[in-house]
A and B are shown apart, each in its own frame.
Chain A
Amino acid sequence: MYDMKALYEATSVENAVELRLEHPEAQIIAGGSDVLVQMREGKRAGKELISIYGLDELRGITIDENENIRIGSLTSFSHITRDPIIQKYINVLGEAVDMVGGPQIRNIGTIGGNTCNGVTSADSASTLHAWEAIVELTGKNGVRRLPIKDFYIRAGQVDIRVEDGEIQTAILIPKASYENTFGHYIKYAMRNAMDIATLGCSVNVRLSEDKKTIERARIAYGVAGPVPMRAPHAEAVANGQPISMELIDRFGLAVLEDINPRDSWRASKAFRQHIAVEMAKRCLFESIRLAGGEL
């Protein structure tokens, strides 16, 4: 039994927006795998909840009229992994969210919840950053879209305007981002299942036609800072460069210019830096291989 003050169940997106405006103090609950846990711990005890879990209109993956991949915010991790569109165009996202917790968590956990938490360790977050996802929010003023890097404000806080009754309704991957692009994600954790990332690294590349040169490399981390982040110095090192093992080494070292992991009981800064370099190298190597490059 949860220590919950009240529960409001939204019947549609519009209704969710209305409920949010009516109950600005209430917490939105999607799958609940984070919110209910916090409520049990006492952190959110005694709060009102607005459940949007029943909004099936926010489930599913499609390609929209502009050829964006559109992921409904309530799509569960397991459905993302199994989705043919994801498998075809951005398989790494399916692989990344297939490392969240365990199977039951992947059945309840949603990509919207994973991002709205604003936590740096979210397994979807680094890949969404590396693929320059767009976050779609719906509020009383209609739809607002913003790049995912702007969505994250600081640890645990994202740009959702409660005063406008906003909820996150979709995540989009633009065609320019996913076309001819191949990526790899490494989750570094202390266990092979049921764990949160000590560090997450997602890299993707688009190669030249002859597969000899990196046209575009993108890399993002979770847990390398208070929010998920790109590593622009490393990207600059790789962009436009011919593929070589030496390039991979330089790419790895360059991430140190960008990342800022902290010392905590979960891991030391020195350790996180060490594995960040190694993970960048391994992710780039694997991304190049997936894109058909030779090493």
Chain B
Amino acid sequence: MSIVGKSEIRVDAFDKATGRTKYYEDRMPAGALFVRIKHSEIAHGFVKSVDTSEAEKIKGVVKVLTCFDAPEIDFPTAGHPWSMDPEHQDVADRRLLNTHVRYYGDDVAVVIAEDEVSAMQGVRALKVEYEALPFVLDPQKAMEDGAPQLHDEYPHNILKHTSIRKGDYQVAIREPGLIRVEGWYETPTVQHCHIENHGCFAYEENGRITVVSSTQIPHIVRRVVGQAIGRPWADVQIIKPYIGGGFGNKQDALYEPLCAWCSVMVGGRPVRVDCSREETFVSNRVRHAIRFHITSWIRPDGSMAARKVDLYSNQGAYASHGHSIVAKAMGSFPQLYPCDNMECDAYTVYTNIPAAGAMRGYGMPQASFANDSNIEECAHAVHMDPVEYRNKYIMPQGYYDGFSKNCNYYDSHRECLEKGKELIGYDEKIKEFAKDTGPIRRGIGCASFWYNTAVWPIALETSSNRMLLNLDGTVTMQCGETEIGQGADTAFAQMAAEAIGLKSYKDVHVVSCQDTDTTPTGLGAYASRQTYVAGFSIRQTAELLKQKIFAYANKLTRQSEHNMEIRDGNVVRKGDGKVLISLKELAMTAQYNPQDSEHITAESTFTIKNNAYSFGCTFAEVEVDIPMCKVTVKNIVNVHDCGNLINPALAAAQVHGGMSMAIGYGLSEQLLFDPKTGRPLNNNLLDYKLSTVMDHPDLEAAFIENPEPTSEFGTKALGEPPACSGAPAIRNAIYNATGVALRKLPMNPHNLFAAFTEAGLIHDEWQEG
């Protein structure tokens, strides 16, 4: 391999460095009408009436549509592939606009206007009369008898409950001499905070509806728009331009259905929905806040005799990705630190907060925090070094999961831990930091995580690809896997150039913009699966393309197709490497041959029936200023075994971003709601504390490159894994520094103040009485 494995410059770097890359708003048709949404100002209740008269009087207002105008069609929004089995279809609990509003910020009405200001004024002029109902923000409270009910079909607001039973927990805990390590671990609601807000525009053309959207999943959104507005799916065209990040928020149908409907309601004129930052926080998707209760029963040697894990996942008002997330979180427990006797129960519960969907890690940042916090406490309970404890009890090499057919082919976990230890200087530091006893103390900690690459066998895995041989011997490639900032297009170009035999990745022109009318169907960016799944269809399509090239070359060169290969953009004879014909000459000849013209193209779909583990860990070093209740991360290292790296520089960049997100998750981020009203309190980038460049140290990304045997290019997940183990590593470092076992994220000054006070590290005598 010569092209794959190199740190090439991104294919889109130049345009992005010059500002000419076009995002959805840069493609806006002239005269598009502005749609502004009236959001619910109560957390739960019914809209009794909407007085639109004042709004309609405003000059520039074209139309007002309310929840009473919206079609009575329930549709699902999750960015999952469609299932032909009704049992496995996503929950359809969403409407374009709602008379039954279920969170503060729910969509009640829209004002369509010629300009932005008129639309905003129109929204402010709407008078909504509500019948307010009691609301509930906490999932466990929502499960109680008599709690406010969000969706009639789901008693006690339980969207779903699933369990894992392994061995016999009740019998196992009776073993004499067991040590019980038990705790509640709590993770907050957070938001993706891609810098480009979600937005889209829609118009009708020749009786069909087109939506240009900032989305990760154009082909899935086409289906959802069709479902939501009651049109055949083929009537809908989704175009995905470059997008300014997604991180899972845009792995959902967001406002595309509403935008499409608004266009239809104004005769197919172009309309635009542009989310403000405040709307992005509340009226898109958030990450599930999951509360864990873990009871571990360990033997004096630290080995796990039995384990019980309960998970309560806060779904918010609508199902979106629903139970899939907490199910994945739960599924990691029996595997990461295997235990013969387990009882796990996961509940996904509706509450009156914004709908939770996919977010980078899909349940694993939450699970990793809970699991690796509890594991740290297990290590302490038996006085073992926490890294040694992990080395002893973490998933061993050769571990096989019968359901996913995943196998831990290498000793990935231990190799990552070993490398992380070395890079951060664990052995020296843990000794040195133990001497700190003053108000400022240093600590070091680590955490591992479990992740797998794709969605097989839970859902369909399919990838389609099209390659066109250009007249200059380069190749244009279309795939359904999307570039959302992570560098997918560059990796695809490298893989395709390698698979075909081109000279450079620059000889592959990846059509970055997906258009469901012309792009072969793919599922889009999620589950850290694109490089893995696209690898199969790229390889397969490249082989098809090569067959056609060889067939034509045979006509021109008389040489056997079986004795040909492509090297550096030339068809060569295998035996002696003689250049038979360049791809350029071949393409020109084939295209313009008056007797036998051919545009050489290939297209294929590959159904993937594999999945791949992708493991790693984080080591963090912190300084804790106890009186000031502040934690400073001084050093942080992530180590990943994501198989072979297609582009090492972009892989490291991907890890940096995940680490930064994990630090924010650990130390500062949380979306807050007023307990009295359910109103979001900090839905802006000032009050929601995502990390700035001054909030963390240099980030170090390291890799173990064990080639993944099931993968065409030896590669596997890297998009989400970097976001998983950072928070618990910091938590464990704080534990090491202070002896305080924090159990609630974020570990911000407020929570540290409470924990340090409880632990007696802070004693404000004036507070007593």
- Residue contact B762 to A274, C-beta cutoff 8 Å: yes
A190, B664: Cα distance in complex, Å: 11
- Specify which chain B residues have a CB less than 8 angstroms from the CB of A256 in the assembled complex: 766
Assuming A1-B116, A195-B686, A275-B628, is B681 touching A190 (CB within 8 A)?
no
Name the residue of chain B whose CB is nearest to the CB of A265. Answer: B681
Contact of A193 among B627, B694, B753 (CB under 8 A): B694
Alpha-carbon distance A194/B687, docked complex (angstroms): 9
Interface hits, B500-529 → A, CB 8 Å = none
- Tell me whether B668 and A191 are in contact (CB under 8 A): yes
- B143 at interface, CB cutoff 8 A: no
Q: Which B residues lie within 8 Å of A266 (CB)? A: 687
B183 within 8 A of A: no
When each residue 725-769 of chain B gets 1 if its CB lies under 8 Å from chain A and 0 otherwise, what string results?
Answer: 000000000000000000000001110010000000010101100
Cβ of B54 < 8 Å from any Cβ of A?
A: no
Query: Which chain A residues (175-218) contact chain B, with CB distance < 8 Å?
Result: 188, 190-196, 198
Considering the complex, which residues of chain B in the window 134-151 have a beta carbon less than 8 Å from any beta carbon of chain A? none
Q: Is A236 an interface residue (CB 8 A)?
A: no
Nearest Cβ on chain B to A169's Cβ, whole angstroms = 29
Cross-interface CB contact of A196 among B116, B686, B766, cutoff 8 Å: B686
Q: What 1/0 flags go to B375-407 for Cβ under 8 Å of A?
A: 000000000000000000000000000000000
Q: Are A1 and B627 in contact (CB under 8 A)?
A: no
Judge whether A164 is part of the interface by a CB distance below 8 angstroms.
Answer: no
A273 to B757, CA, bound (A): 13
Q: Which residue of A lies closest to B276 (CB)?
A: A40
How far apart sit A78 and B672, CA to CA, in the bound complex (Å)? 33
B629 at the interface (CB under 8 A from A): yes
| A271 lies within 8 A of B750 (CB) | yes
Assembled-state Cα–Cα distance A29/B691 (Å): 30
- Per the bound structure, the CA–CA distance linking A278 and B629 in Å amounts to 10
- Which one of B117-125, B483-491, B577-585 contacts A? B117-125
Q: Are A194 and B686 CB-contacts (below 8 A) given A45-B124, A275-B629?
A: yes
- Does A153 sit at the interface, judged by CB under 8 A? no
| Shortest Cβ distance from B746 into A: residue | A190
Q: Which of chain A's residues have a CB closer than 8 A to the CB of B628?
A: 188, 275, 278
Interface residues of A in 247-295 (CB under 8 A from B): 253, 256, 265-268, 270-271, 273-275, 277-278
User: Which residues of chain B have C-beta atoms less than 8 A from A191's C-beta?
Assistant: 668, 689, 691-692, 694-695
> Bound state CA distance, A189 and B254, in angstroms?
33
A192 to B630 alpha-carbon distance, docked (Å):
11
Residues of B within 8 A of A253 (CB): 766
Residues of B within 8 A of A193 (CB): 692-695
* Residue B25, interface by CB 8 Å: no
Nearest residue, chain B, Cβ from A192: B694
Smallest distance from the beta carbon of B665 to chain A beta carbons, Å?
Answer: 14
* Residues of chain B within 8 A of A1, CB atoms compared: 115-117
Chain B residue with the shortest CB-CB distance to A4: B117
Residues in A neighbouring B124, C-beta threshold 8 A: 42, 45
User: Which residues of chain B are near A274, meaning CB under 8 Å?
Assistant: 629, 753, 762, 764, 767
Q: Complex formed: what's the CA distance from A125 to B666 in Å?
A: 32
Interface residues of B in 652-687 (CB under 8 A from A): 668, 672, 674, 681-682, 685-687
Interface of A, helix, strand, loop or mixed by DSSP: loop
* Pair B749/A190 contact, Cβ less than 8 Å: yes
Q: What is the chain A residue whose CB lies nearest that of B767? A: A270
A67 to B195, CA, bound (A): 48
Bound state CA distance, A266 and B124, in angstroms? 27
Residues of the A chain whose Cβ atoms lie less than 8 Å from the Cβ of B627: 278
Any chain B CB within 8 A of the CB of A22?
no
Given known pairs A3-B120, A267-B750, the reply for A194 and B692 (CB within 8 Å) is yes
Residue of B nearest to A256 (CB): B766
Given the contacts A193-B695, A265-B672, A271 and B753 also touching, CB distance less than 8 Å? yes
- Shortest B205–chain A CB gap in Å is 28
> CA–CA, A274 to B695, complex, Å?
23
- For B695, the chain A residues whose CB sits under 8 A away are 191-193
How far apart sit A109 and B672, CA to CA, in the bound complex (Å)?
A: 28
- Give A190's nearest chain B residue, CB to CB: B689
Q: How far is the CB of B689 from chain A (nearest CB, A)?
A: 5
A1 to B118, CA, bound (A): 10
Task: Give Cα A45 to B58, complex, Å.
Answer: 15
User: A95-124 interface mask toward B, CB cutoff 8 Å, 1 = contact, 0 = none?
Assistant: 000000010000000000000000000000
Closest A residue to B692 by beta carbon equals A193
A284 to chain B, nearest CB (A): 14
Q: Could you tell me if A192 and B629 are in contact, using CB atoms closer than 8 angstroms?
A: no
Residues of the B chain whose Cβ atoms lie less than 8 Å from the Cβ of A45: 120-121, 124
Cβ–Cβ < 8 Å partners of A46 in chain B: 121
The CA-CA distance from A285 to B244 in the complex, in Å, is 46
What residues on A are CB-neighbors of B115 within 8 Å?
Answer: 1
List residues of A (28-45) whose CB comes within 8 Å of B's CBs: 42, 45
CB-CB nearest in chain B for A189: B689
Residues of A within 8 A of B694 (CB): 191-193
Chain B residues near A195 (CB-CB < 8 A): 686, 689
Nearest-neighbour CB distance to chain A for B44, whole angstroms, equals 20
> CA of A44 to CA of B190 in the docked complex: distance in angstroms?
29
Q: Tell me if B749 and A271 are in contact (CB < 8 A).
A: yes
Q: Which residues of A contact B749 (CB under 8 A)?
A: 190, 198, 271, 275
Tell me which residues across on chain B come within 8 A of A42, comparing CB atoms: 120, 124
Shortest CB-to-CB span from B91 to chain A, Å, is: 32
Closest Cβ neighbor of A271 among chain B residues: B753
Among A188, A190, A275, A277, contact of B668 (Cβ-Cβ < 8 Å) = A190
Do A268 and B750 form a contact, CB below 8 Å, given A3-B117, A46-B121, A278-B628? yes
Cβ of B681: which chain A residues have Cβ within 8 Å of it? 265
Residues in chain A near residue B685, CB distance under 8 A: 194
By a beta-carbon cutoff of 8 Å, the part of chain A in contact with chain B is 1-3, 42, 45-46, 102, 188, 190-196, 198, 253, 256, 265-268, 270-271, 273-275, 277-278
A-B contact pairs, 18 of them (CB 8 A): A2-B117, A3-B121, A46-B121, A190-B668, A190-B748, A191-B668, A191-B691, A193-B694, A195-B689, A253-B766, A256-B766, A265-B681, A267-B750, A270-B764, A271-B750, A273-B767, A274-B767, A275-B629
16 A-B pairs besides A192-B692, A277-B764 with CB distance below 8 A are A3-B117, A42-B124, A45-B120, A188-B628, A190-B668, A191-B695, A193-B694, A194-B685, A194-B692, A265-B681, A268-B750, A268-B753, A271-B629, A273-B767, A274-B762, A278-B628
Closest 4 CB pairs between A and B?
A: A192-B694, A193-B692, A193-B694, A278-B627
